[in-house]
Structure 1
Amino acid sequence: MSTASIPKQPGSYQKDTGTVYNILFILGLCHLLNDSIQAVIPAMFPILEQSMGLSFTQLGLIAFSLSIVSSVLQPVVGFYTDKRPMPYALPIGLTSSMLGILGLAFAPSFLTILFSVIFIGLGSAIFHPEGSRVAYLAAGKRRGLAQSIYQVGGNSGQALAPLITALILVPLGQFGAIWFTIVAALAVAFLVYIANWYSRRLTYIERTRKPQPKAKMKNPALSKSIRNALLVIVFLIFARTWYSSAISNFFTFYAIEKYHLTIAGAQVYIFIFLLMGAVGTFLGGPLADKFGKRTVIILSLLATAPLTLLLPFVGATLSLILLAIIGVILMSSFSVTVVYAQELIPGKIGTMSGLTVGFAFGMGAIGSIALGSLIDLVGLTPTMIAVSFLPLLGLLAFLLPTDKKLHEWQQEN
């Protein structure tokens, strides 16, 4: 096991000499289990619509409740744990999700479902910022790779939604969700192990803490530059998330309408997009470690733009190929934007993770509603053409400071 990270100032950590791979891989697996539980909820929509007669508005409220609880609470949890790290919040969060999925399996009404989903969202909000902090502590010098291992677990879990629908929920119905209490219990057990390691690491950090230098006077120009860079990151997350939301939520209907596919056939397109997105998430971190975070962020959007613009005008086979390539390239910046934000504001690991990942959840929720309304207003094809321009917002990434400049800012802070 590698030597522990030693803080230069409260809440910040020096680069470690080694990467703790066993912790990172277990954490990535826990992320997969956590996000596969979340994937159960949208996967259940066709089941709930039939068994309970829920309207699309009610289904939208369920999706909105899950995303908004996760997104709003993530930066709050991150801000609190930056000041008071809570290793055992990780298994406690997944216990909340386990109770939520248990309630979902037996829920007799819409309100009970909503209440259960809030428990799952709460568990997710606790898990993500603390999980990102553990990945940071275990990263050593390979922060991009560490975040990729952590985040690819989550993206893989989300990609399981079509399989969950086909293999579990269609044959077993709503009660099939009960099997995911086993998934949650497994994640809790793994996270107790992670929490023990995390607690020991924090004890070591506290024991080896260096004397704190006197606080420097804040540089107003630097503070403004950091704020502007963070705003650019937020806009880039908006572009990536809204495009991803358009594909994952509505491309099924588009494929059915344009290519005359069955529901099962159209689900293949979403599965390929999400699966290749998970591949891209993993590749992005090592590429950022080698070529720079800013470079990967720029290319992930701008290299995607020609493909997204072409997608609405091609046939069924080529669209499947394009979606696979788009998924890999677009999602290559997912973990990289988290690391970039963490290095932009050192010492706020949980807050920046909660802000970037939580914002993505929130934008996904708002995007689902906004894009659905746009489809109702102008139709599927015009909407898909309109969202294909979103990756062009990647031009804003040229406004981000270079990795070298980021390092200089860290020295000044």
Structure 2
Amino acid sequence: MSQHVEVRSASAGTERIGLKILLAISFCHLLNDMLQSLIPAIYPQLKESFHLSFTQIGLITLTYQMTGSLLQPLVGISTDLRPQPYSLAVGMASTLVGLLALSVAPSFGLLLLAVGLVGTGSSIFHPEASRVARMASAGQYGLAQSIFQVGGNAGTSAGPLLAALVVLPLGRQSLAWFSVFALLGMLILARVGIWSKRRQAASHGQRRLQPAQQRAGSAQAARGPMLILLVLMFSKFFYTTSLHSYLIFYLIHKFQVSVQSAQVHLFVFLFGGALGTMLGGPIGDRIGRKQVIWWSIFGVAPFTLALPHANLFWTGPLTFIIGLMMASAFPAIVVYGQELFPGKVGTVSGMFFGLAFGLAGIGAALLGNVADARGIDFVYQVCAWLPLLGLAAVFLPDLGHNGQQEEREA
């Protein structure tokens, strides 16, 4: 057995990272998240066209969030049991159909169906794409996750801009034009599926199943660290949602700036987040995931506590630093979770991406209610303390490179 492990370790060490595959799924992640982010960007147009109440707008968000978050762990579990390399293209096809339906839907009920299809496409895409990133990583798991995730960050930022330039001036029917991007994504992901199927077939004979008792012990030992990761996810995504959803309103209220100026500050925050996502993974490969998680969440607390008291000049640098540091945690969290549960890449990825999506939606709704009741300033004064929950990261076991070794042995 030891000889077998040595051969596997040697092959993993000489294997080159699949950069073309990583760039392909990162680009498709950009397309996927860009198309998703068109939905909230056209809410004002939908409200006017269908004479919707805010409750109905909330139902659209709920439908999209539920299909886009709750289904992801189920998809991950399913693909762990039986890998589906072509499910990536199927997920993008669901998004394509949803966009076409959204562009022509004549009733509120069909609007809900359309956004549900887009959310379902996202649920299918993320777990399997994260698995492909790990397969193409050649052991550089954090770097691979960062490359994959930064595409999503870029797409989320681009969606509202495209909606402002195309959909709002030309009308809801112009959403159909964006189906071309979904079709392009399907073609690329079909090629990725071919690569993934060949890779799985080639490695199938090299896998060794762990004894059931060892797997059960490993899962039991991982429950405590997983609970800590969930606390850290709550801290991170509730705080970043406060900036992503309400920073523009906060700046206009506190400093009386124009909408355009506030949008520039939001872009600075989002740019910091994209840079942090790119850096968090490879830094975790070098110094360990725990250290990145610790410094990214708990370490940002001085800056979040300072933000409510900063003037307009210092708000820009502070939001950039906050975006950079907090975003760097997510690639490390995903890879750390994958190393806690070897062989459950799809399940873990689906859970974390789904949880991120769900927490962001819940956080936006709750913080909006708080802002209505107590004011937008109060939101930032309270949320500033959330990163202190990052202190829980001190209780995470330091996996080092054990997670990688365990996976090679599995």
Match 2:102 to one of 86, 101, 104: 104
For 1:54, give the aligned amino acid.
L
Match 2:114 to one of 113, 116, 120: 116
Conservation of the 8 A alpha-carbon contact between 1:281 and 1:335: yes
Which residue is equivalent to 2:156? 158
Question: What does 1:55-66 align with in structure 2 at a 5 Å threshold?
Answer: 55-66=53-64
Which residue is equivalent to 1:91? 89
Conservation of the 8 A alpha-carbon contact between 1:6 and 1:205: no
Answer 1 or 2: which has greater helix percent: 2
Which residue is equivalent to 1:379? 375
Is residue 324 of structure 1 aligned with residue 320 of structure 2?
A: yes
Question: What does 1:311-350 align with in structure 2 at a 5 Å threshold?
Answer: 311-350=307-346
d(CA) in 1 for partners of 2:208, 2:46: 58
For 1:37, give the aligned amino acid.
L
Conservation of the 8 A alpha-carbon contact between 1:344 and 1:406: no
Which residue is equivalent to 2:261? 265
Which residue is equivalent to 1:181? 179
Identity of aligned residues (%): 40
Match 1:76 to one of 74, 78, 86: 74
d(CA) in 2 for partners of 1:335, 1:180: 29
Q: Specify whether residues 260 and 50 from structure 1 end up closer, same or farther in structure 2 by C-alpha distance, changes over 3 A only.
A: farther
Q: Specify whether residues 47 and 16 from structure 1 end up closer, same or farther in structure 2 by C-alpha distance, changes over 3 A only.
A: farther
d(CA) in 1 for partners of 2:405, 2:228: 17
- Report the Cα offset of residue 140 of structure 1: 0.6
Deviates more, 1:13-22 or 1:70-79: 13-22
Conservation of the 8 A alpha-carbon contact between 2:308 and 2:380: yes
For 1:147, give the aligned amino acid.
Q
Return 5+ residue gaps in structure 2 as ranges: none
Which residue is equivalent to 1:33? 31
Aligned with 2:191: secondary structure? helix
Deviation string for 1:305-328 (max 9, x for gaps)? Answer: 111111122222321221112111
Which residue is equivalent to 1:403? 399
Which residue is equivalent to 1:285? 281
Q: Specify whether residues 297 and 36 from structure 1 end up closer, same or farther in structure 2 by C-alpha distance, changes over 3 A only.
A: same
Match 2:206 to one of 206, 209, 231: 209
- Report the Cα offset of residue 212 of structure 1: 4.6
Aligned with 1:404: secondary structure? coil
d(CA) in 2 for partners of 1:248, 1:50: 24
- Report the Cα offset of residue 297 of structure 1: 0.4
Which residue is equivalent to 2:357? 361
d(CA) in 2 for partners of 1:240, 1:407: 24
- Report the Cα offset of residue 217 of structure 1: 4.7
Instruction: Give TM-score, length-normalised by structure 1.
Output: 0.91
Aligned with 1:328: secondary structure? helix
- Report the Cα offset of residue 48 of structure 1: 2.0
Deviation string for 1:51-93 (max 9, x for gaps)? Answer: 3332332222222221221111101000010010001111011
Which residue is equivalent to 1:133? 131
For 2:56, give the aligned amino acid.
Q
Return 5+ residue gaps in structure 1 as ranges: none
